[in-house]
Structure formats: C-alpha cells, structure tokens
Amino acid sequence: MSSSLTAVAAALDRDRPLGLMLALSFLIGAAYCLWLFGFAFLGGRTGFWLNSRDVRGAVGADVSTALSGYYFFLRGAWHLPLFQVDEFGMPRGIAIIFTDSIPVLALLGRLIYRATGDALNLFGWWIAACFILLGMSLTALVSRLGQRSLAAALAATLIGLSMPPLLYRWGQPALMAHFEIVLALIFYVACKGVRRGALRHFIAAAALLVLALWTNPYIFVMVGAVVAAALVQAMLDRSLAPRAGAAVLLGLAVVVVTVMLLSGYFEPRGSIDEAGFGHYSLNLLSPFSPQMSGLFPGRRAFVLDATGGQYEGFSYLGAGLLLLALLAARSTQRSSLAVLRDWRRRIAGSWRRHACLWCVLLGFLALAVSNTVYLGGWNLGTVPLPAPLLHLLGVFRSSGRFCWPALYALAATAIVAAAARHPRAGAAVLLVAAFLQWLDAAPLRAAVSASAAAAVPPLIDAGAWRRAIARHHAIRVFPSFACLDKPPFTWTWSRQVAVELQLLAGEAGVATNTVYAGRGAPDCPAEAEAAAAFERPAPGELAVFFAEFPGFAALQAAAAQPGSLCRASAYLVLCSRDFTAFDPQPLLAASPAD
C-alpha cells in the first residue's frame, strides 16, 4: 500500500509537458461546467436568460441588459462606431460597451447571424469559457513559474474553478472574464528576463488589450496596467531594448486609442460619474475573512460589507489558498527576529526583480480600498482628495474590483511557493489545498447552480408581450428606465418591467427608447417634452406609459373614450394603431401586487 501511494505521489510530482497539463485542465473544466449548468443553460434556452438572480438571491438586470444590447447588435447594420446601436435607447442610441454586452462575443454572434440567420444566445458558452479558461490560464501561469507537475495542474484548475471572487460575479458575465487578467500575468512572466523581438511583444500585447477592450472597461484597465508593467520591466531588465520598448508602448497606445474610437468608447454615453467612489470599495479584511464559506457554517451567507456597497470588493481567497499562502510564507528560521529578517529579505528580493508589477498591484489595491478605509466594521479614516481627482476616480466607481490582479498573482505564487518549500510532500500539499478550496466554495457554487436552474418568473406575460411587440417596429416607454424616479436609486416595479421590455424588444429587433446602462446622462427633459406632446401613436409604434408619467391620469381618462387608440389599467396605459391584431388585456394585467 505504501509503495503504491509513493508511486502515485511520484507520478503526480513528475514534470509534465505544458500541453498535457492544459489538456487535463480543459477536461476538468468542461466536465465541471456540464455538471454545474447543463446543455440547456449553456445553449441559452432556460428562463434564466429572461430574469435571473445573483448569488445572494437578488433579482438583477445585468444579464437582461447585456443580452438586450447583444440582440440589438446582432441584427444591426455595419457602421462606425462599430458597437454603436441606434435602435437601443433611441433616438441617441448607445454603444453596447456600456451595457456590458461583451462586444467580442456580440461580434461573433453577428457573424453567425449573418451566416445562418439564427440569433444565437452565446452567453452560456461564454460563462463556461470563463471557468474553463481561468483554470487553464492559472495552470499555464503556475507552469511558467516552475511547477509543471500534474499535482500543480490539478490544484491550479480546481482552485481556479473554486475562486470565490469569480463565483461571486455570477450574473455579470462581462466581469467573469478573470482569465484575461491571468493571461496578462502570463505575458508578464513571459517577458521577464527573456530576450524576444519587439514585434512578438507588440502582437501579443495588442491581442490581449483588444480582447480586454472588447470585454469590459474594468478588465481592460487591469490587463492594460499589467501589460505595461511587463514591458517597462523588460526594458529595465534589458531583455527589451529601451528604444524598441518605447516603440512597442507607443504602438500599443495608438492601437488602444484607435480601437476605442472605432468601438464607441468616446460616445456621449460614456460620461464620467463620480458617484459611488469610496462606497463600492474593498474592505481590508475581505480577502481573509470567510464569506459564503462552506467550512465555516456561520459564514455560509455572510458577506463583509461596512458601507452597503463593499460587496463589489468581495475578495475572499478561500481556505485552500489561505493555507497555501501560509505554507509559502513559512520561514525555516526559529527565532522571531530571524523570521522577520527572512521575510524582509524575500520581499526586498522580489521588489528588486519585479518592481513594476509590485507598483501596479499595490496601486490597484490602494484604488480598491479607496480613500475611505475600512477594517471589518471599523472606519479607519478618510484620506482627503481634491475634488477633480475624486471626479476622475469616479470613472471606475466600483473600485473594489481592482483587487483581482493581486488575488490571482497571490494565487499562482502561493501554489508554486508552497510546493517548492515542501518538496517531499508537494503533491499532497497541493491536493489537500485544492480539496479545501473546493469545500469552502460549496455555498457559492450551490447558489450559482440554483440560479442557473431556477427561472425567476417575469413581472409581465412575456409570451403576450412578445406577440404584441412583433406587430410593431418601435416600442416607446414613458418614462424610460433612467427617467423613472429620482435618486436614491430603487428597483421599482416599473423599472423592472422596463428592463424586461427592453430585452423582449432586443429579442425581436424592435427599436426602443428605454435602456439600462451603467454610464450616461439621459435627456429626461427632452423625453418629458416629447411625451407631453403625445396625442396618438405613430404607425407601427407601441407606446407604454407607466403610472409615474405626469399625465398618466389624463391618458387613463382618454383611453376610456370611444374610438381611443389607447387601453388603460391602474398601472399601465398602452397606445397602438394595431389593437385589432392582438389582445392588450394580458399586457395590462401585470401589476406590482403580482
């Protein structure tokens, strides 16, 4: 028995080709996604894609809005800016970058639509790819750092699939692309100390940056900073000639600005909004405090949040990674003073070799914490910042997310260093840590599985509305989503219905004025003026008025008159020239009481 275990341990510890490690990681990740989701979800055929819940059970609009922009783009015409959609949020339209519609996925979806005529929902496959590619990229990063065994591949894959910050982003597909951050870290390691031609650096970096630009702005900033750190560090190390490095950086800047211009990043809807910076931040205890943990029963539903917005900085590492980090940090010295000296020596050596990456990771952590610092429930103080700087920082008001590069750098380093510092038991250490990570992530994984499997009933009769919308070429909603009520923001019944209507309009390719987007200042006065001048719907137009509309009572009264083109209930007024072709009563039946 002992000899068998020794043989297994030796097989797991033996160095393997990277291709074999990646193949193992892919198979595990693919099996995991099929087990967790199933083909119906991955193919976009479940009720999740109309209404969904996040891991905390809250009904959200991120998936619906992302799909809305995606569907509008599929059927749209080719023009510049490439991702601008005029039919979504008419008359101004919007670039789907600001609806988190994952432009690179939308581009693939449009090519398929043009080739086959099928408007396929590819978001399920994207989510599966985010899990699979995170496991594979973490495996590749660990291999690059020197751990090339099957045990390292298994640990990196299982830890990647069980990363609490990834699982917690459920319901926000664009923000689940954590594998792109790990790819940027691989680029950094590949540039470190290895002489390569400037052209190879440029091509790899440009591909990474464009992919991130066409995924999500937050992901792009993280990837871009790590890529820049890699190139500057390569220049400092003389593995990239300074003149060649400067040319690569300049070329990348040109590529990024050009792609941003062509994509629609600088459209009016991309306006700066400083609200929220310091509120959606990282709590200093978040990486270490068990949250939604399977190993601490009292923490299965707990999320550390001292501001009401620090869920954006959710960054619990997981029990397995914390164990590896402790083992990696363990010193062979006996006295406390010697241990401190050993740690200082290691940190100083790392700083000398990786100063640029350290600056980026520490800078992102500072941005994530923000100028208002919390340790658990204690406010440690606020660092005063000039108003112009706060306004600029507000471009990324959910700053807590910027902890992700440091988390994944720590994850890879801990896997490699823990195995290296315990060579005789390396395989056992890695597999035990992976098992602990898997167990600790069980509540999050269960919440994801439950959300994917259980559809949230819509507030409206989706079938009846689909039939009605299909009879028109435009649906106008008054007030539109962004003009429905004043701050503080609340998820009112009308706002939820507006989001459901925009998704149904996107599915049908019917233009709409209502849009839920993370950026942009809607012209509510102009909308109110147009709505006040409303007398009768235009041909092919379906007008929807919520009870918040200032002239709602007058519209109700007018709808009761013989020959009216409007129909009314207590909460909605519908106006159309085509009521003979569809029954408006199922549409009017929806109410907040439901």
Rounded to 10 degrees, the C-alpha dihedral 205/225/100/495 comes to -170
Strand 511-512 relative to strand 378-382, pairing: unpaired
Tokens 């892919």 sit at which residue?
26
* Contact of 87 with 93, CB cutoff 8 Å: yes
CA angle 220, 223, 229 (to 5 degrees): 135
pTM of the complete model: 0.94
In the numeric block, which tokens belong to residue 553? 């009572």
In the numeric block, which tokens belong to residue 492? 């009112």
Residues of the chain with pLDDT below 70 are 1-9, 193-196, 268-275, 331-339, 343, 486-489, 518-521, 593-594
Burial of 1 (0-12, 13-18, 19+ CB in 10 A): exposed
pLDDT tens-digit series, residues 168-181: 999 999 999 999 99
CA angle 41, 45, 49 (to 5 degrees): 80
Query: What pLDDT does residue 375 have?
Result: 96
Q: How far apart are CA 246 and CA 236, in angstroms?
A: 12
In the numeric block, which tokens belong to residue 253? 């800047």
Q: For 100, list phi and psi in degrees, rounded to 5.
A: 55, 40
Query: What pLDDT does residue 217 have?
Result: 95
* Contact of 432 with 295, CB cutoff 8 Å: no
Query: What pLDDT does residue 17 have?
Result: 94
Distances (CA, A) of 354 to 197, 367, 566: 21, 20, 67
In the numeric block, which tokens belong to residue 46? 């479940």
Distances (CA, A) of 174 to 62, 66, 86, 285, 451: 10, 8, 22, 26, 17
Q: Among 435, 425, 418, 437, which Cα is nearest to 324's?
A: 418
Q: Among 108, 100, 179, 197, which Cα is nearest to 411's?
A: 179
- Which H/E stretch holds residue 118? none
Strand 94-95 relative to strand 572-575, pairing: unpaired
Q: Among 404, 389, 376, which Cα is nearest to 312's?
A: 404
Query: What pLDDT does residue 271 have?
Result: 45
CA angle 25, 26, 30 (to 5 degrees): 120
Name the β-bridge partners of 171. none
Q: For 145, list phi and psi in degrees, rounded to 5.
A: -85, 0
Query: What pLDDT does residue 558 have?
Result: 92
* Contact of 526 with 482, CB cutoff 8 Å: no
Amino acid identity at 487: P
Query: What pLDDT does residue 28 have?
Result: 98
